[in-house]
Structure 1
Amino acid sequence: MDGYQRDGETEAERLDRNWDELLQELRVTQTGVQILTGFLLTLPIQPAFQDISDFERSAYIAAISTSILATCLLITPVAMHRWLFRQQRKATLVHVAHRVAISGLFILAAAVVSVMALTFSLVLDQTAGVVAACLGVVLFVAAWVLLPLRLRHRLTRPEGP
């Protein structure tokens, strides 16, 4: 959420804009995490699931747990909005929903990394699962943390000619 007010924008307009931007972002993530969770929920009823290794079972438990938690967190702002609707609490809603959404994204990254570990372990072997998970962590940290922080840093410095 940007904390900056645009020229001529009131505080209420800024909060409405921030809330709308957050909802747009959540629409993208909610669909993906719900599909991931639904898919993961079907795995234990597959006959071959009973033959997976302890590592694969642990990766599955990590994946389904984090996927369910991410689903919860990424839908929480909608539930908060319903409970706070017409309570004159937009600033609180935007602030807390922003934090919950960031937490949901980190948990979603953990879910995807767990799925990577499970999938590579099933297709190749446990070592490949561990390597894939480690590479997944690096990928998500680079794309979801380092890149945005670098862009934020660049935007706070004056641009040269």
Structure 2
Amino acid sequence: MDRNWNELLQEMRVLQTGVQIIGGFLLTLPFQQRFGTLTGMQKWWFLLLVVLATMTTGLMLVPVSLHRRLFQHHVKYRLVAAGDKIVKAVVACVSLLIAGCAGLIFSVAVGPEAGLAAGGSILVALAALVLLYPLLSWSPRRRKAGQKR
């Protein structure tokens, strides 16, 4: 369980860096000259992404909070199981954040239709990568002959 917990924390560190970079990018946008030229929809899209980035960052704090609360209560299995669910939720939020940011950029650069098309396409591609690919590419029951355990 200790190894599983450490691996979860390492995954969260990798995700945290990406969320911080995207969040920092979003926080700089209102201070750019061109921000005033955004349409009302683009501004709401931007604000939705700020809320999503903030909530994703907050969600990443939950495993730490759980660990502090459950420290030395001999429930490491429950802690790892909860951490696993939280990491999955964070991956989903980060995927939405990436697709949303790309969509907003396309919307500003090309137009709202292009933004929706790009954001939707990227979201579908990310869903395939983070949901379907792991399911289809590997199963513990389908180990190749001769592969070490």
Which position in structure 2 is the counterpart of 1:151? 137
What is the Cα deviation at residue 33 of structure 1?
0.4
What is the Cα deviation at residue 115 of structure 1?
0.4
The Cα RMSD (Å) is: 1.7
Residues 64-86 of structure 1: CA deviation (Å, up to 9, x unaligned): 12111111112321222122222
1:17-96 map, 5 Å: 17-96=3-82
Measured in 1, the distance between the counterparts of 2:60 and 2:91 equals 8
What is the Cα deviation at residue 158 of structure 1?
5.2
Gap runs ≥5 in structure 2: none
Residues 65-123 of structure 1: CA deviation (Å, up to 9, x unaligned): 21111111123212221222222221121111111111111011111111011101111
TM-score normalised according to structure 1 size: 0.82
Aligned length: 146
Structure ranking higher on relative contact order (CA contacts 8 Å, 6+ apart): 2
Q: Which amino acid is the alignment partner of residue 58 of structure 1?
A: W
Gap runs ≥5 in structure 1: 1-14
1:106-145 map, 5 Å: 106-145=92-131
Measured in 1, the distance between the counterparts of 2:20 and 2:69 equals 22
Q: Secondary structure at the match of 1:43?
A: helix
What is the Cα deviation at residue 62 of structure 1?
2.3
Percent identity over paired residues? 34
